Amino acid sequence: MLIQSFLLACSTTVALALGSEQAIISTARLVGKDITDPRANGVEIFRNPHNHAAAAGSILVFSGEAVRYQPQQDGILFDKNIYDNYKQNFFAFPGFALSYDTLPISFELNGDRRQLRDSLERAYNENDNRSNNDAKEIADAFEKLLPRKLNDKKAQAAKDWTLSQTLIRSGEDKRVYIEIHELSLTLTTSMTTGYVQINKQTATIRSAKLNVNDRFLTSFADNLAQRIPTLRIRDAIRILSTSNLQLFLADFDEKTDGSYGSAAGTRRTHSRQRFYSLSQLRM
């Protein structure tokens, strides 16, 4: 009896400790057309404005790897500080100018996935001054990011979740923009089956947009190329997306059970370079 009580106390302590974790699932995608010259690399990625979507992706990856934000390699992230440091890094990059950073927008969830998706679309339409199609795409992406089943015990125990979308927009005006969208909510997962349930709750979304300063990238192309490894936009998107979530790189098969582990799927590693503080890039 004493042993059973002890084991119960231990399991409760572990559950409480794990349940305090903040879990983050991330995805990145390109919105618009990639007009990057496929032959360009290094300094040309920064010098030529046609290549600035790839430049933006390279800077985002650089910002993340400097603080070990590697969702493609590590899977679901359980350290919110790493994610926050990643955002802090690229927000501080002198070639990105903050256009807006919204206050959290709250909306009610009744536990139904479809209602969550519809509420998200409505919230973006009403509060973020977006086109219907744009709001729909963001809402659809959040719905697909929601795990249906979790195999990893640490992920199963997590209650507080952040679903994050990083968008690189290649506009019709040939300008490049970066957006980050976050959905914060609580999820309950069965520790026996792994199936995930959305709780009735008040969830929040938050968005920010940064303009890529093409003059800055062009003017300091040589300096930037010496310090920031350049990537194809497709590779940057993969590195910035939680492993096994190929939502916008391949067809999403809704017939699968949507199972995720803490590092599910095949890992893609990015060759390590010497990283510099972003403050060193302030010219």
Q: In this predicted structure, what is the pLDDT of residue 21?
A: 67
Cβ count near 25 (within 10 Å):
22
Report d(CA 54, CA 35) in Å as an integer.
9
Are 270 and 240 in contact by the 8 Å Cβ rule? The answer is: no
Are 120 and 142 in contact by the 8 Å Cβ rule? The answer is: yes
Are 212 and 177 in contact by the 8 Å Cβ rule? The answer is: yes
Are 107 and 200 in contact by the 8 Å Cβ rule? The answer is: no
Q: In this predicted structure, what is the pLDDT of residue 260?
A: 44
At 57-91, the pLDDT tens digits run 999 999 999 999 999 999 999 999 999 999 999 99
Which residues make Cβ contacts (< 8 Å) with residue 277, sequence separation at least 6?
Answer: 66
Listed residue (49, 274, 23, 275) closest to 164, CA to CA? 23
Q: What is the dihedral of CA 233, 239, 243, 249, to 10 degrees?
A: 0
Residue with tokens 């930037």: 224
Cβ count near 122 (within 10 Å):
13
Listed residue (46, 35, 31, 37) closest to 227, CA to CA? 46
For the chain, 283 residues long, give each residue's pLDDT as a single digit of tens: 422 332 233 333 233 333 346 899 999 999 998 899 999 999 999 999 999 999 999 999 999 999 999 999 999 999 999 999 999 999 999 999 999 988 899 999 999 999 999 999 999 888 766 777 889 999 999 999 999 999 888 999 999 999 999 999 997 778 999 999 999 999 999 999 999 999 999 999 999 999 999 999 999 999 999 999 999 999 999 999 998 654 333 333 333 444 444 443 333 333 333 333 444 454 4
Report d(CA 64, CA 61) in Å as an integer.
5
pTM listed for this prediction: 0.81
Listed residue (267, 245, 73, 70) closest to 147, CA to CA? 245
164, exposed or middle or buried, with CB in 10 Å at 0-12, 13-18, 19+? buried
Report d(CA 236, CA 58) in Å as an integer.
6
**DSSP label at 104?**
P
Q: In this predicted structure, what is the pLDDT of residue 19?
A: 38
Q: In this predicted structure, what is the pLDDT of residue 277?
A: 45
260, exposed or middle or buried, with CB in 10 Å at 0-12, 13-18, 19+? buried
Are 34 and 229 in contact by the 8 Å Cβ rule? The answer is: no
DSSP run (H or E) holding 6: helix 2-19
